Amino acid sequence: MGQVILVCSGKGGTGKTGITAALAVAFGRKNLSVLAIDGALGFRNLDIVFGLENRVINNLIDVLEDKCELGAALVSDRKFPSVRLLPTAWMRPVSSLDEKSFKNLIERVRSEYDVILIDCPDNEVLFKTYISCSDRAVAVITGDVCCVRNADKTLRTLKSNSVRDISLIVNRFDYKKTASGIHLSIDDMTDLLAENVIGIIPECEAMASGINRGEPVTLDGGFVGKLIDNVASRMLGEVIPLTSVKKLARYNKN
């Protein structure tokens, strides 16, 4: 049975979509079958980040409303065909996602994929629906104080809805901002949120470029792609120490 991983945060723009795509490719490289679901109903982005926007024909809501078969909505990654994207609808309201139909769909895909990633937007209604189908969650946070406070609420909601396997990815890590106290340190974030950090991704050109050019950063074989690969490995139980923040600092552009 596949595991369902919710990629969430509690704040917009922390890098959830970019990290979902990069993680999907990282799992695909490990020969796992992966379904990446764009959960951002009404604000479809994951197809762009995968570089697959020209191949989208049908979407999640079409599937839930029985307008097409699941297979007719899926788009395979160009380099890793075992990684599939289920795009969402772009112009439909949040109310068009029927919770029961979504749950049924998740139960079906659990038997067909090793890993199911749900890219969750900052929307309480969708978040609650996705929580109810998820086995574990990854909160993508930054060192911004507001982001960490919102993440605290997100983690409480996850726990109160029985999602207890929670980890943190600190994205957009900025060494100078952290050293000068503008951003919270990794230790501060760990203390405040009391959850395990399984990856620190620097604020860097590689991530911004991968997201905007539609080439998940895991594909380029570079340092940042390796960081994401390590996150995927840690999620599968491997023990790999975190990269030091001084080493990450070299990838900050400022």
Instruction: Quote the least distance from Cβ 185 to ligand ATP, whole Å.
Output: 17
151 binds ligand ATP (CB under 6 A): no
How many CB atoms neighbour CB 219 within 10 A?
A: 20
Task: Please check whether residue 78 is in contact with residue 50, taking contact to mean a CB–CB distance below 8 angstroms.
Answer: no
Nearer to ligand ATP by Cβ, of 41 and 70: the residue is 41
What's the CA gap between 55 and 165, in Å, rounded?
A: 34
Left, alpha or beta for 214 (phi > 0: left; psi -120 to 50: alpha)?
left
**Closer residue to ligand ATP (CB): 28 or 202:** 202
Which neighbouring-strand residues pair with 199? 169
Of the candidate residues 17, 218, 230, 243, the single one contacting Mg ion (CB under 5 A): 17
Please give the angle made by the CA atoms of 236, 222 and 4, to the nearest 5 degrees.
Answer: 25
Give the nearest distance from C-beta 228 to ligand ATP in angstroms.
10
What whole-number distance in Å separates Cα of residue 193 and Cα of residue 211? 27
Cβ closest to Mg ion, residue 119 vs residue 229? 119
Stretch that binds ligand ATP, among 61-69, 128-136, 204-212, 234-242 (CB under 6 A): 204-212
* Pairing mode of beta strands 165-173, 75-76: unpaired
120 contributes a contact to ligand ATP by CB under 6 A: no
- Tell whether residue 129 is a contact of Mg ion (CB under 5 A): no
* Contact flag: residue 201 with ligand ATP (CB under 6 A): yes
203 interacts with ligand ATP by CB under 6 A: yes
CB-count burial class (<10 Å; 0-12, 13-18, 19+) for 136: middle
Q: Which residues bind to ligand ATP, rule: CB under 6 A?
A: 12-18, 40, 45, 121-122, 171-172, 201, 203-204, 207-208, 211-212
Q: Which residues bind to Mg ion, rule: CB under 5 A?
A: 16-17, 45
